[in-house]
Amino acid sequence: MLDLKDTFLTAWSRIKPLLDANPDERLRRLARRHTARLQRPPREWCIALRANDLRLTPLHVPMVPDRAPARLLPHKVHLTAPVVRALTHPIDSGLPRAALKDFAKSLGVKPAVVLAQARAGQLELTRIKGLEHKSDRWGGIPLVSTARKPLAPGFLNRHRGPDPVWGTWWHDLAQTIPADFEQVIDRVPIAHADVTASHLPIAHTDPTVLCNPITFGQPARRGPRPPAPGPDHPRRFWGWRWLCPACHQTCRLLFYPPPVPLPQCITQYLKRHLARDDRDANDPAPTFACVKCHRVRGGLSWGSKDAWNHIVTLLSAGLLFGHEVEIPAFVRRHRKFSAPKRPQNRPSPKRHQVEQLLLQNLTYPQIAKELAISEKTVAYHTLAARKAHHVQTNDELKQRLRTTNTLTARPRSA
């Protein structure tokens, strides 16, 4: 399943005798299965369906009523295993390359989305003039190539899919859905009342059928919220949303979390030391629901020091820790954002207040009470102050603040 297999087996052959010799340690590690990390399905192991997938048409997917999508009316989508597999299988441009329009169609997005991916360097874009005797607008007919790195239709990170450390297992993730799977899910149109905010050509004629009037791109208002626009106010179609079958809230993505597949050695070990009910207790519900209902844990971030430990813990069901498995040389820590963070040169009055109260040797709860904020926020501002003054501890921070002439301690107000 994973390229990490050899590394993993080496570590397991070293740790397993220690666990066999020490039952307390084994119980401690088995108890990790009850932690949130192993109870929540990871995003990488979730099959996701976009509500605005352009392939969701009555031609490809059973819908009731079948004319509702064209008329922008709420409807029911009948999801079966073949439908889900067709909607989530990885999309490749093929060799040598595919027409941009065709590729966008197979991915279920508009061509502008694929163009943006090409502009970001994710796809190779070539323009050929006079291809198939077509007109040469914009410098030629655009063709794209994924360079044998297929895109994931259900991922919103420009369809790049999970982190490369997970390998290519996600290509076959949809195959884990049972063949007899069936679920009917509501899909509703979303509109908003500011018709000038969108260039979409369809202004809806019957505003009563559209729910959830939402406003995007408007400045935050102060004071009481203005009344919602009346039913006679024109509204514009703003895309589709799923209605989560569990909480009935609207959402853009629906998730189906298959259980994380474990290596054979770990499965056998769990079988020997856990009852069947205990083993199956962590399996998520086999149904589509929103991110909150499934409590999906976000994707892997190499910015976190815990990233490797997270991978090892997931793949070993908590029996191994990250420091016990050597990181293979081919695993590269990919940064999500290449640009470095710049310090913001703006006043931070709340941090200044926290610094002044710290100088008076107040504790976090006292500062929180004084400023009417939570202790967590105080900790956050203190951390920001330590970073800004390039010190490690609060004592050093106080020392630095005392020696800085610009910051003078104020008497504490009653």
CB 241 → Zn ion: shortest distance, Å?
A: 12
Identify which of residues 100 and 293 has a Cβ nearer to Zn ion in the complex.
Answer: 293
For residue 345, which of 310, 392, 313, 388 has the smallest C-alpha distance?
388
Identify which of residues 185 and 368 has a Cβ nearer to Zn ion in the complex.
Answer: 185
Identify which of residues 251 and 409 has a Cβ nearer to Zn ion in the complex.
Answer: 251
Whole-angstrom distance, CA of residue 316 vs CA of residue 213: 46
Q: Which residue stretch of 184-192, 238-246, 269-277, 335-343 sits at the interface with Zn ion (rule: CB under 5 A)? A: 238-246
Identify which of residues 64 and 247 has a Cβ nearer to Zn ion in the complex.
Answer: 247
Using CB under 5 A as the binding rule, whether residue 247 contacts Zn ion is answered as yes
Q: Which residue stretch of 240-248, 252-260, 325-333, 350-358 sits at the interface with Zn ion (rule: CB under 5 A)? A: 240-248
Using CB under 5 A as the binding rule, whether residue 244 contacts Zn ion is answered as yes
Q: Which residue stretch of 60-68, 171-179, 284-292, 323-331 sits at the interface with Zn ion (rule: CB under 5 A)? A: 284-292
Identify which of residues 212 and 374 has a Cβ nearer to Zn ion in the complex.
Answer: 212
CB 243 → Zn ion: shortest distance, Å?
A: 9
Strands 182-192 and 63-64 turn out to be unpaired
Q: Which residue stretch of 83-91, 246-254, 261-269, 315-323 sits at the interface with Zn ion (rule: CB under 5 A)? A: 246-254
Contact characters 186-225, Zn ion, x per CB under 5 A:
----------------------------------------
Whole-angstrom distance, CA of residue 332 vs CA of residue 330: 6
Both structure tokens of 320? 């191994």
Q: Which amino acid appears at position 143 of this protein?
A: L
Whole-angstrom distance, CA of residue 323 vs CA of residue 11: 10
Give the number of residues written for the chain. Answer: 414
Assess contact for 48 and 88: CB atoms under 8 A. yes
CB 77 → Zn ion: shortest distance, Å?
A: 16
CB 245 → Zn ion: shortest distance, Å?
A: 7
Identify which of residues 107 and 293 has a Cβ nearer to Zn ion in the complex.
Answer: 293
Using CB under 5 A as the binding rule, whether residue 293 contacts Zn ion is answered as yes
For residue 320, which of 23, 2, 25, 1 has the smallest C-alpha distance?
25
Q: Which residue stretch of 113-121, 152-160, 185-193, 239-247 sits at the interface with Zn ion (rule: CB under 5 A)? A: 239-247
CB 39 → Zn ion: shortest distance, Å?
A: 17
Which of 19, 46, 243, 290 touches Zn ion (CB under 5 A)?
Answer: 290
CB 247 → Zn ion: shortest distance, Å?
A: 3
Identify which of residues 47 and 358 has a Cβ nearer to Zn ion in the complex.
Answer: 47
CB 256 → Zn ion: shortest distance, Å?
A: 13
Binders of Zn ion: how many residues, by CB under 5 A? 5
Inter-CA distances, 159 with 29, 90, 151, 238, 332, Å: 36, 9, 5, 21, 20
Whole-angstrom distance, CA of residue 161 vs CA of residue 222: 40
The per-residue DSSP string of 49-118 comes to: EETT-TT-STTTS-EESTTTTTTT--EEEEEEHHHHHHHHS-B---SS-EEHHHHHHHHTS-HHHHHHHH
CB 79 → Zn ion: shortest distance, Å?
A: 16
Identify which of residues 27 and 285 has a Cβ nearer to Zn ion in the complex.
Answer: 285
The per-residue DSSP string of 310-340 comes to: HHHHHHTTTSS-GGGSPPPTT-----S--SP
Inter-CA distances, 30 with 5, 38, 64, 270, 271, Å: 21, 11, 47, 8, 12
Whole-angstrom distance, CA of residue 86 vs CA of residue 106: 10
Identify which of residues 98 and 253 has a Cβ nearer to Zn ion in the complex.
Answer: 253
Using CB under 5 A as the binding rule, whether residue 246 contacts Zn ion is answered as yes
For residue 93, which of 82, 85, 101 has the smallest C-alpha distance?
101
Both structure tokens of 311? 């991978």
Identify which of residues 147 and 246 has a Cβ nearer to Zn ion in the complex.
Answer: 246
Q: Which residue stretch of 108-116, 129-137, 267-275, 287-295 sits at the interface with Zn ion (rule: CB under 5 A)? A: 287-295
Q: Which residue stretch of 255-263, 271-279, 282-290, 308-316 sits at the interface with Zn ion (rule: CB under 5 A)? A: 282-290
Whole-angstrom distance, CA of residue 124 vs CA of residue 239: 29
Binding site for Zn ion (CB under 5 A): 244, 246-247, 290, 293
